[in-house]
């Protein structure tokens, strides 16, 4: 896409390339900008009514393109972190997996696959005796030398939803109703105790 630089003598504008974007993103933004330009030149168009001043219209297009590029950069960063996290998880490197997937799930809490991946890593760390998030953070920092991100509220909700998506509470429900806890697994007992708090 091309960012316009307005001259001091009025509406003169010169195209200026914007850095830190990909060719595909540039092409999409250039196509969007061309569509908006075509709409704006038509008197009475919705775009022209919303942005009657040419300079304000160009500023608006610049802001929209900048937002789009920022979202793309964030999305690309989340995808890279997710790939690194899943690769580390498969290799058994839970510290690196936790580090990368915590960043990925914070960047893209709506991505169910990333939320499930973080939930799986967290569960694996719990089976190794790290029962709190603070324990997990200490483990990750000791293993990687980096402090993992705290989960945002949206990310935490997504991870909890992913963890509970596969949870079958039928055995837990039967045990609670009958008072028979002997056949429950340690995970089911822990779940029961957490829910009773």
Q: Quick check: 4 pLDDT over 50?
A: no
Q: Quick check: 118 pLDDT over 50?
A: yes
Q: Residue 100: which of 112, 86, 110, 90 has the closest Cα?
A: 86
The mean pLDDT value of the chain amounts to 80
Q: What is the tens place of the pLDDT at every residue in 131-158?
A: 888 999 999 999 999 999 899 898 888 8
- Higher-pLDDT residue of 147 and 22 is 147
Residues 105, 118 contacting (CB under 8 angstroms): yes
**Structure-block tokens of residue 177:** 């109703």
Residue partners of 54: CB distance under 8 A and separation at least 6: 11
**DSSP single-letter state for residue 166:** T
pTM of the predicted protein model:
0.58
- Distance of alpha carbon 41 from alpha carbon 83, whole angstroms: 44
Q: Quick check: 182 pLDDT over 70?
A: no
Q: Quick check: 160 pLDDT over 90?
A: no
């Amino acid at each position: 896409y091309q960012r316009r630089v307005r001259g001091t003598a009025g509406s003169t504008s010169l195209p200026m390339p914007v850095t830190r974007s990909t060719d595909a993103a540039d092409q999409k933004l250039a196509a969007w900008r061309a569509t908006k330009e075509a709409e704006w030149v038509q008197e009475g168009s919705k775009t022209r009514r919303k942005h009657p001043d040419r300079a304000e219209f160009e500023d608006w297009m610049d802001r929209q393109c900048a937002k789009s590029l920022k979202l793309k950069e964030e999305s690309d960063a989340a995808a890279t972190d997710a790939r690194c996290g899943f690769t580390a998880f498969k290799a058994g490197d839970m510290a690196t997996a936790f580090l990368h997937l915590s960043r990925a799930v914070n960047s893209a809490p709506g991505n169910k696959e990333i939320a499930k991946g973080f939930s799986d890593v967290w569960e694996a760390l719990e089976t190794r005796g790290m029962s709190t998030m603070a324990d997990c953070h200490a483990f990750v920092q000791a293993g990687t030398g980096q402090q993992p991100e705290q989960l945002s509220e949206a990310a935490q909700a997504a991870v909890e939803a992913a963890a509970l998506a596969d949870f079958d509470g039928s055995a837990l429900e039967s045990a609670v109703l009958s008072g028979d806890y002997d056949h429950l697994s340690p995970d089911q007992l822990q779940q029961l105790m957490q829910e009773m708090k």
